[in-house]
Amino acid sequence: MVSNLIFLEQIALSIAVGALIGVEREHTKHQIITGVRTIALISLLGTLSVMISDLSGNLTYVPYLCLLAVIGYTFLLYYFRAKKFEALGLTTVLTLPLAFILGVLIGFNLYMEAISGAILTTIILLSRDYSHMFVKKLTDEEIADAMLFATICFIIYPIAFVLSPANPISIHGTFSINLQSFLLVVIVVSLISFISFLLMRFWGPKAFPITGFLGGLINSVATVSSLASKSKERPSPLYVTGLAMASSAMLLRNLFLVMLLSPQIFGLILIPVVVMVLVFIFQIFISSQSKVHKTELIFKQPFSVVSGLRFGIELFAVMLLVYVISQFSPRSIGIAAFIGGLASSASVAASIPSNQASLGLSNIACAYLIMIGCFASLLAKIFTLITGASKEFSGRGVPLIVTSMLAGALALIILVH
């Protein structure tokens, strides 16, 4: 039995949850039969069915019976709708059982779950036009590769994560690796690259700064290389904006990886990284004030499942490199971090916190090594600009990167000392 207040709360909430979905259906005019009232009443039915089942132990079947009735109504609705209007869309009719289930959740006092489900359902329904546009922009090869990548990322990696031991595994002597942390980093970086690529294919040249940022999340050096080659064809201040966005994305991605692995080191590099990003943002603001020419970012690196596996190999190679150099010359670990940063700054950002215990490094030493890896990536961009970009682009881009590096180094030194 429920009190009068709880009864009124559940009734009001179930109607609101169903009405939220119904408003979207009526507003977008993607249906002509069900709407706010119908879907709200179905959600209310779900809540009332749970209340009735609580009245007696002999009435526990009521929610199941009502669900079957809603499914039957949905089937009839779909049949006559398809027959009369020759419309085969399932989206609207599938929302009816879903609305009922959300009402049932409310009846079981699962308010947050019901509200979250209603909001997510509405977002999915609203994304209809955008999702169709998005799919049309992808090639068959990209879709197939994305499915394979999703299989590895959401099935194989998680299974390997669960089966892997929680404690570090010694491979040779004192060199050890925590497989769970290793797989977690690979999954996170792979997801960032995967989502960034899809969003970049959706926006295309319509939002140059955004695509520059997304390209930086995937591979900042490759993005700057694309900008450099394009700058020789047609000069534009937007290339500096793309450089700033790609470099900022690289720094923020590395900061996020460190946050996952070591909150203590994250606290040390947070301000230096933010200072560097602010330098780039200031340049973006300046470029936005000038007259720009229409251009587009061509990121030729194809998205493939190899990208996630390659990062895993790079991460392991950097971890091994740091360990080997530390055995021969502990003072030369910075060289290993620099070399690793030239190949992949994300690998350095992930490997240093992961190997901190085995290397006997302090938090301050790790912070310096991670920043060295970031600086190496930025130096690689400087080399790319000098050798492959137009004089205008390199003349503006190189001082920008140098200024950002100096600001970050100064902030780190002041913070740790």
Is residue 257 domain-shared with residue 186, that is, in the same domain? yes
Is residue 221 domain-shared with residue 242, that is, in the same domain? yes
Q: Does residue 134 lie within any of the structural domains? A: no
Of 126, 153, 178, the last residue of a domain is 126
Q: Does residue 201 lie within any of the structural domains? A: yes
Total domains in the fold of the chain:
2
List the beta bridge partners of residue 170: 176
Report residue 201's pLDDT band, with 50, 70 and 90 as the boundaries. Answer: low
Is residue 36 domain-shared with residue 70, that is, in the same domain? yes
Q: What pLDDT is stored for residue 35 in this prediction? A: 72
Mean of pLDDT over the chain: 79
Terminal Cα-to-Cα distance of the chain (whole angstroms):
64
Q: What pLDDT is stored for residue 139 in this prediction? A: 66
Query: Which domain range does residue 16 map to?
Result: 4-126
| 69: Cβ contacts below 8 Å, ≥ 6 apart | none
Is residue 114 domain-shared with residue 147, that is, in the same domain? no
Is residue 42 domain-shared with residue 148, that is, in the same domain? no
Is residue 255 domain-shared with residue 385, that is, in the same domain? yes
Residue 329: both structure tokens together: 């010359």
pLDDT at 258 over 90: yes
pLDDT at 301 over 60: no
- Strand, coil or helix: what is 302? coil
Higher pLDDT, 119 or 330: 119
Q: Does residue 404 lie within any of the structural domains? A: yes
Q: Does residue 133 lie within any of the structural domains? A: no
pLDDT at 278 over 90: yes
Q: Does residue 132 lie within any of the structural domains? A: no
pLDDT at 13 over 50: yes
**Which amino acid is located at 276 in the chain?**
M
Is residue 58 domain-shared with residue 145, that is, in the same domain? no
pTM: 0.66
Q: What is the DSSP letter of 174?
A: T
Q: What pLDDT is stored for residue 292 in this prediction? A: 47
* Closest by CA position to 47, among listed 70, 31, 22: 70
* Closest by CA position to 189, among listed 400, 297, 345: 345
Q: Does residue 131 lie within any of the structural domains? A: no
Is residue 122 domain-shared with residue 148, that is, in the same domain? no
Q: What pLDDT is stored for residue 364 in this prediction? A: 93
Of 69, 102, 126, the last residue of a domain is 126
Percentage of the chain modeled with pLDDT above 90: 24
pLDDT at 250 over 90: yes
Quick one: average pLDDT of 214-236?
A: 78
Is residue 74 domain-shared with residue 116, that is, in the same domain? yes
Report residue 386's pLDDT band, with 50, 70 and 90 as the boundaries. Answer: very high
Is residue 333 domain-shared with residue 356, that is, in the same domain? yes
Is residue 245 domain-shared with residue 121, that is, in the same domain? no
Of 77, 94, 126, the last residue of a domain is 126
Q: How far apart are CA 69 and CA 376, in angstroms?
A: 64
Lowest mean pLDDT of 47-51, 125-129, 246-250, 327-331, name the range. Answer: 125-129
- 60-104 per-position pLDDT tens digit: 888 889 989 988 888 887 777 666 655 555 666 778 888 999 999
Q: What is the DSSP letter of 156?
A: I
Whether 60 and 117 have beta carbons less than 8 Å apart is answered as no
